Every structure is written in C-alpha cells, then in structure tokens.
Amino acid sequence: MSTFNAVHLAKRPTSDIIPGETFEVKVHPTPKETDLKDGQVIFQSNYLSLDPAMRGWLKDARSYVPPVKIGEIMRGAAVGKVVGSKSSKFPVGSYATATCGWAELAVVSDKYVEKVELPSNASIADSLGILGTHMDCRSLCGYLETILRPRFPITSSGDLIKTGLSAPRSRLQPINRTPLFKISDNSHGFALTTQGLTGLTAYFGILDVGQVKAGDFVVVSGAAGATGSVVGQICKIKGARVLGLAGTDDKCAWLINELGFDAALNYKEQNFPKNFRDATKGLIDIFFDNVGGDILDMALGRAKPHSRFVMCGGISQYNAAEAKGPKNYMMIVAMRIRMQGFIVTDYESQFVEARRELAQWMSEGKIKGKLHIVRGGLEKAEQALVDLYKGVNTGKLLVEIKPDADTKSKL
C-alpha cells in the first residue's frame, strides 16, 4: 500500500518545543483520485513555510485562530503541485499554495487552494513570503474542515474562527494595476516568500498601520527575517531612513549592502544598548516590532512625540513560560505614541492589489528576498521550527518536503 507522512501535535510544550516529544510523525494511506469529491484536489507539498506564529498555535489560549488540538496535523502552508484533481480550476500539474498542514499530501477543497502567479524573476517559494500565500482565516477554516475532520479522529475547531474583528478601513491609496506575470514552471521558490504572508504583513504593517512617509526614521526589529527585510525595503521605496536590528554581523551586512538599509545593529553584541542609543539620537518616528521584550523597551525609550509603534509580533516571548511586558510603557502616554497591533488576514480583501504592487517592486529589483531552505523532507520540520527561534534563517525559512524536478535548479 502506498503511504504518506504527516506531522501531528503530540504534546503541548510549556516553553521550548521539544524535538521528538512535541510532534509525532504518522503514516497515512495515500488518497486516491477516485475517492475525491467534486471540487477537491490532492495537493503534494514541495516547500513548507515555517512561521514564528506556529508556537502560538500550540498554546491552548484565546487568539486570532484556535489552537491546534492534540492529535491534529500541525497547521501550515506550503507551495506544491496538484497531483490528483476533481476540480476544473486546478488540473493535475498545476502549481499552487494551500493551507495543507505539515503533510506530504493533503486532500483540499479548491476553495482553499490558490494559483501561484509570480513575476518572472521570482521562484514559487516566494508565494509563501513576499508575494503572499493562502494561509488566511478562510483557508485555515478550510484546512480544519476539509482535511482534518473527515480524515482523522478529531473534533476540529474550524468553526470557532471568529475573531470578532472586521477588516480595518484601509488608509492606503488605490494601487496602480500592473498585471502580474504568469508563473513559469521553474520559478517555484518565490511563491513562499516575498509574495507570501510575510510580504503582505510587511506591506500592510508599514504602509497602513505605520503610515510611513518620506523623511521618517524607522527602526525595524527582526530585520533580517522574512517580514522585517521587506519592511525595510518598502521604507526605502517611500523615502524613509531605516535602522535594522538583527542577531548576527552577517545579517547586518546583508541588510546594508544588499537591501539598502541605512544602518543595522547586532542586538547580541555587548555594546548594543549604547550603540542603539547612539543610532537613535534623533528619536524614532516608527518602530516596527517583530520581537518585543527588551528591544521594545529600548525603542519606547527613544520614541518621538506622536510616533507610531507597529506591533507585528514578539518572537522573543513566544517560548517563554511567562511573557514579559514592557517596563517603559508610560512613554506611550508621555510621547502620545500610537501603538497598534494588527493581523495580516484582516486585510484579506486587499491581498490581490498588494501582491500586484509587491510583484511590480520585485520585477523592478526594488525588493529582494532570500530563502533559507532546510532540505531533507518533512521529518526536518520540527527541528527547523526550533531553529527559527534561534535565528538560523536570513530571509524566509522553508522546509523542502519534496524537491520538484522542474524547479530545483532555481532554489
């Protein structure tokens, strides 16, 4: 019998994910095309996106999506190929992204699969990063309902995905509609990065929440990661000055020499607090925060009156048994700071236009991405997720589930 592997949540971690304990690999019979219902496809993952938010999904706590339940396939998005189809939209051989979970194969309704359309200088992994993957609340519901519920003994909570939030009224100007180039079969990589969720997060976070404008001084934490690296490049396009914070000298050099950041500081250096004070003497207009913790406190201490704090994430606290809040929070009052959190899926109705503009910037060479691909199959995903919180990646972290012969040479 032919089989495929999937990674299931075995035990909730209380702090760090423990390889061999938090998740377990299970073997499942390969689905047959003849068993598909109308509108379903069999999706084969090539590259799985690993995201810091995954640690949050393991917590049994109220959030913007329900937690992954014990025994469920771990939630995740991938770019890959349709290998079986009863959908007129996705014939066998189509490249697509889907919220398919940590699995080599998945049966997915075509409502929750998205075609990959990319600029010619992109690869399909970029659909999980800069150019926007499909992991929105709708597809998370779809993932829970169509993949997990019928196939595995769980009570899925897909119907609980009601955040009570309506989409924010965008402050963005209408975007010039440049047509996207069609993906060529050998351009897989970019489907997961610049065009993916992290690219869209950067886009709406800095443009709509941050309201960046020419002359602003912007500080970005987690700057060499998938989201932060795009934030800084959009700031440069808009005429702002950007200081990036990252965990190694090599990452800082990449930000300045390759991506055009004005300056970058290694936050792990002993002199970082002094270097940070020196670099922010003129005070901060926008702080785009991906990490929280001590760095957020330092930024609060250097905020300009009426500055904007874009609260995107707080990775320094995700594995902590008890998260630390900022000590300097009274600066929010004293400096009249506008501090706003956001979830990228709030902007789902504007994804198409945002991707179009990101794709245009990519094709003009104004935005660059980098992929950090962990090879060796699905079994590597657990350790790779642990390593994400240690800063192993520059750019977007992906796990190669199954190399695609057509696209391998580009990655």
**Positive/negative CA dihedral, 150, 151, 153, 156:** negative
Query: To the nearest whole angstrom, how small is the minimum distance from the Cβ of residue 182 to ligand NAP?
Result: 27
| 388 is an interface residue for ligand NAP by CB under 6 A | yes
Task: Output 118 or 220, the one with its CB closest to ligand NAP.
Answer: 220
Residues 199, 228, 232, 369: which binds ligand NAP (CB under 6 A)?
Answer: 228
Going by C-beta distance under 8 Å and a sequence separation of 6 or more, which residues neighbour residue 25? 5, 6, 7, 8, 378, 379
280: helix, strand or coil: coil
86: helix, strand or coil: coil
Task: Output 41 or 296, the one with its CB closest to ligand NAP.
Answer: 296
Task: Output 23 or 204, the one with its CB closest to ligand NAP.
Answer: 204
Query: To the nearest whole angstrom, how small is the minimum distance from the Cβ of residue 349 to ligand NAP?
Result: 15
Stretch that binds ligand NAP, among 40-48, 322-330, 388-396, 401-409 (CB under 6 A): 388-396
| 222 is an interface residue for ligand NAP by CB under 6 A | yes
Task: Output 39 or 391, the one with its CB closest to ligand NAP.
Answer: 391
| 109 is an interface residue for ligand NAP by CB under 6 A | no
The count of other CB atoms within 10 Å of the CB of residue 235 is 30
| 358 is an interface residue for ligand NAP by CB under 6 A | no
Task: Output 66 or 84, the one with its CB closest to ligand NAP.
Answer: 66
Task: Output 145 or 348, the one with its CB closest to ligand NAP.
Answer: 348
What residue is closest to ligand NAP based on CB? 225
Residues 76, 84, 101, 225: which binds ligand NAP (CB under 6 A)?
Answer: 225
Going by C-beta distance under 8 Å and a sequence separation of 6 or more, which residues neighbour residue 242? 218, 219, 220, 232, 235, 236, 261, 262, 263
Going by C-beta distance under 8 Å and a sequence separation of 6 or more, which residues neighbour residue 330? none
Query: To the nearest whole angstrom, how small is the minimum distance from the Cβ of residue 26 to ligand NAP?
Result: 26
In this structure, which amino acid lies at residue 215? G
User: What is the strand order of the sheet 217-220 is part of?
Assistant: 263-266, 241-246, 217-220, 284-289, 303-311, 338-341
DSSP codes of every residue in 138-161: HHHHHIIIIIIHHHSS----GGG-
Tokens of 168: 């924010």
Alpha-carbon span 411 to 125, nearest angstrom: 8
Tokens of 295: 């760095």
Give the total of residues touching ligand NAP (CB under 6 A).
31
Alpha-carbon span 103 to 123, nearest angstrom: 22
What string marks each residue from 169 to 208 as x (binds ligand NAP by CB under 6 A) or -?
----------------------------xx--x-------
Residues 76, 244, 247, 369: which binds ligand NAP (CB under 6 A)?
Answer: 247
What string marks each residue from 40 to 69 as x (binds ligand NAP by CB under 6 A) or -?
-----------xxx----------------
Task: Output 124 or 223, the one with its CB closest to ligand NAP.
Answer: 223
Tokens of 8: 């299931």
| 290 is an interface residue for ligand NAP by CB under 6 A | yes
| 128 is an interface residue for ligand NAP by CB under 6 A | no
Query: To the nearest whole angstrom, how small is the minimum distance from the Cβ of residue 241 to ligand NAP?
Result: 20
Question: Which residue, 381, 371, 358, is CA-closest to 237?
Answer: 358
Query: To the nearest whole angstrom, how small is the minimum distance from the Cβ of residue 95 to ligand NAP?
Result: 22
Helix axes 197-204 and 351-363, enclosed angle (nearest 10): 100
Question: Residue 170 to residues 175, 231, 343, 349, 350: CA-CA distances in angstroms?
Answer: 12, 18, 13, 10, 9
Contacts with ligand NAP, residue ranges (CB under 6 A): 51-53, 197-198, 201, 222, 224-228, 246-248, 251, 290-291, 312-316, 342-344, 388-389, 391, 393, 397
